[in-house]
Chain A
Amino acid sequence: MSAVRRRLFAKSYIDTWFLLIMTLVLLGVFRGVQPSWLNGQTVQNLVIQNTPLALVAVAMTFSIISRHIDLSPGSMIALSGAVVGLVYTAQGSLALAIAAGVGTALGVGLLNGFLVAVVGLNAVMVTLAAYIWARGLSIGANNGDPIDVGGGLATVVNASWHGFTLTAPVVVAAYVGGWLLLARTKMGRYTYAMGGDPTAARRAGIDTSLYTILLFLLMGAMIGISAVITVGQLGSAQSTAGLGLELDAIIAVVIGGTRLAGGEGSIGRTALGVVFLSILNSGLLNLGLTDDYFQLYRGLVLLSVLSVQIVVRRMTDEEERRKREQEQLAAALAAT
């Protein structure tokens, strides 16, 4: 019993406990301000509203652990959606349109992966460029107007069972699959290795180029699925789809306790981060705030949580850090 307790309250879980408490506080505050928000449909609505965030966050966990942050998902969801809309308008086949949309997402993932892994460009900059050009193309696809895709896709995506739509099993599958991939496979172990020390990973014989490209393809797959779901939910492809989603996904991963420095993290933490951010987004939206207060509150909550998280973390490993730094300093002095 005490061993279990010691494990549960171990330092590595401090972030998790902290975020769990913060999530409960957030729930309590929203419940207090607007009691009707918390009802039988809350969970269903959270899932429906935040599916793209949840899916992209799975792939973003891999990106951050491997130190290749991807800034393209938001714009790419809009572009893939536009491709779905354009192909559907031209060919009238939904299957073909979906294939083209997912294919676009995978293709750009492959391109970004190639530029990073083979050419050796910085991932942030490559995907920042994609963030810009993909949004430009998605606006240009139809002069910024929505592209109608008819009701067929909407019927499938919005078909509900006890308030849960088809997106719920997709999200669950993504998290189970993502957890298995990260924690139980060779690719998962290599992801940690590449993020922890890229040079060491290469010297250890890992084909870092191949696995980096695979990671970008994983992101492409999540983007493709998210794009199809977004188009289905709205009944049309919109050029503003996924605006700011990449940064939301990064926040979800980091607030879950994964360090941006790479080399560590887990899907479970990301799930918790996504739950927290979903509640924050949906709760604030539900208050009917104007855009100014929405942004202000969101910014203040995120900065506070990130700050307190770091303070809590620092309090727990202050002693360790001090010892380590003294050793480093001594070693550096001895070397001169």
Chain B
Amino acid sequence: MSADASRLGGVRTLQRAVVADRARWLAETLGIVAIAGALLLAFSLTSSQFLLAENVRNIFVQISVVGVAAIGETLVMLAGGLDLSVGSVVLLSEVISADLTATHHLAWPVALLAALGAAGGIGLLNGVLVAVVGIEPILATLGTLLVAAGLGQRILGLRYLQVTNPVFNDLAVKNVIFNLPIMVAVMLALYAVVAFAVRTTPFGRMIYAVGGNRRAARLSGLSLVGVTIAVFVIAGILSGVAGFLNVAQTGLVSQNDGMGMEFQAIIAALVGGLSVTAGGVGRVERTLLGALIVGMMTNYQTIKGIDPSFQQAFLGGLLVAAILADRLLRGRQ
């Protein structure tokens, strides 16, 4: 009898936990949407330019590169890791795609494939170093950050590369949905696909399982090595896509491209409400909102003529606010 009662109690506890979980999820999602909405309202009331179609388009174009890189960073963080090599992989991918199209006059799909191959290769190296060798993610990806940046700058040499292939111009200029160019559509499509896949496929559940409780995941027969490597490879490829888009946005490649983009991606994920302690909590689509909030703030401050260095300072402040909000919503862990 007592066993039955305790089992019943267990079910009730579980039900309560599920309800609480739903409520918390709703609060978090609504919270981040509300913050984005409040900022939108405040900015559009205080600046007549902010909501102009041209400016909205600018915001989306500006966030599309970091936005795509942040998808990969989100997946890695969901799995309990961290990827510092994002910016360097973006540079490497930029250099390869620009060099192959502009210097070697190859077709753009070939260049894109080569760039994504290299980016995926760095991701594979990250995954092997973390999952097989056992180096901490922050140190392993710091090492590959140096390697990828060195490789990219070596290929680039001490020069700028200007791209001539029309595909880059099309990506940034040709409008497909509403007033938004192809590169924005690419970002939105990637968010839709990855968010859907993470929620519905077994692989998506595995990412959460590995990030949430490593030991339980292993004991229930999941391949930690496989999932970790796959997540890092996907993140690498997404950084490669971000690099290709960045070439489109700027039209040229220079040595410092991509520098620090890993931190912008991490900020987008954190502002979007990713769990900051251990992984296993968070949603891919919320990272898009995080990137949008950061993009709106940057854009607004630029309109108001605030110096970029102080914009960076405000960004740091925003990050503190985001983790404070996260702490208040989720409670001490």
Considering the chains assembled together, what is the distance between the CA atoms of A250 and B134 in angstroms? 17
Q: What string of 1s and 0s marks CB contacts (under 8 Å) between B122-158 and chain A? A: 0000000100011110111011111101111110001
A-B contact count (CB 8 A): 137
Considering the chains assembled together, what is the distance between the CA atoms of A115 and B322 in angstroms? 13
B135 & A307 in contact (Cβ 8 Å cutoff): yes
A251 & B146 in contact (Cβ 8 Å cutoff): no
B320 & A126 in contact (Cβ 8 Å cutoff): yes
A295 & B313 in contact (Cβ 8 Å cutoff): no
Chain B: minimal CB distance from A92 (Å): 26
**Chain A, Cβ-Cβ closest to B306:** A140
Q: Which of chain A's residues 259-287 have a Cβ closer than 8 Å to chain B? A: 260
Considering the chains assembled together, what is the distance between the CA atoms of A295 and B149 in angstroms? 7
Interface centre among B135, B255, B310 (most CB of A within 10 A): B135
A303 & B312 in contact (Cβ 8 Å cutoff): no
**In the complex, A332 has a CB within 8 A of chain B:** yes
Considering the chains assembled together, what is the distance between the CA atoms of A143 and B154 in angstroms? 30
**Chain B, Cβ-Cβ closest to A259:** B136
List, in ascending order, chain B residues with CB within 8 A of A247's CB. Answer: 142
Considering the chains assembled together, what is the distance between the CA atoms of A136 and B313 in angstroms? 5
A144 & B309 in contact (Cβ 8 Å cutoff): yes
Interface size class of B (residues with CB under 8 A): 35 or more
Q: What string of 1s and 0s marks CB contacts (under 8 Å) between A293-336 and chain B? A: 11111111011001100110010000000000000010010000
**In the complex, B166 has a CB within 8 A of chain A:** no
Q: What string of 1s and 0s marks CB contacts (under 8 Å) between B204-216 and chain A? A: 0000000000000
Q: Which of chain A's residues 131-185 have a Cβ closer than 8 Å to chain B? A: 131-137, 139-140, 143-144
**Chain A, Cβ-Cβ closest to B158:** A290
**In the complex, B58 has a CB within 8 A of chain A:** no
Considering the chains assembled together, what is the distance between the CA atoms of A131 and B143 in angstroms? 19
**In the complex, A122 has a CB within 8 A of chain B:** yes
A140 & B133 in contact (Cβ 8 Å cutoff): no
Q: Interface of B with A (CB < 8 Å)?
A: 129, 133-136, 138-140, 142-147, 149-154, 158, 219, 255, 263, 266-267, 270, 276-277, 307, 309-317, 319-320, 323-324, 327, 332
Additional 19 contacts, C-beta under 8 A, given A291-B153, A311-B133: A119-B324, A129-B319, A129-B320, A133-B313, A135-B312, A137-B310, A139-B309, A139-B312, A140-B310, A247-B142, A254-B136, A260-B136, A291-B255, A293-B154, A295-B146, A296-B146, A296-B154, A303-B143, A306-B139
> Would you list the 10 A-B pairs with minimal beta carbon distance, nearest first?
A133-B316, A299-B146, A296-B150, A136-B312, A136-B313, A140-B309, A292-B153, A139-B309, A295-B150, A132-B316
- 22 A-B pairs within 8 Å (CB atoms) are namely A121-B323, A121-B324, A126-B320, A128-B263, A129-B317, A132-B267, A132-B316, A133-B312, A133-B314, A133-B316, A136-B312, A136-B314, A137-B313, A140-B310, A143-B309, A295-B147, A295-B149, A295-B153, A296-B151, A298-B146, A299-B150, A332-B219
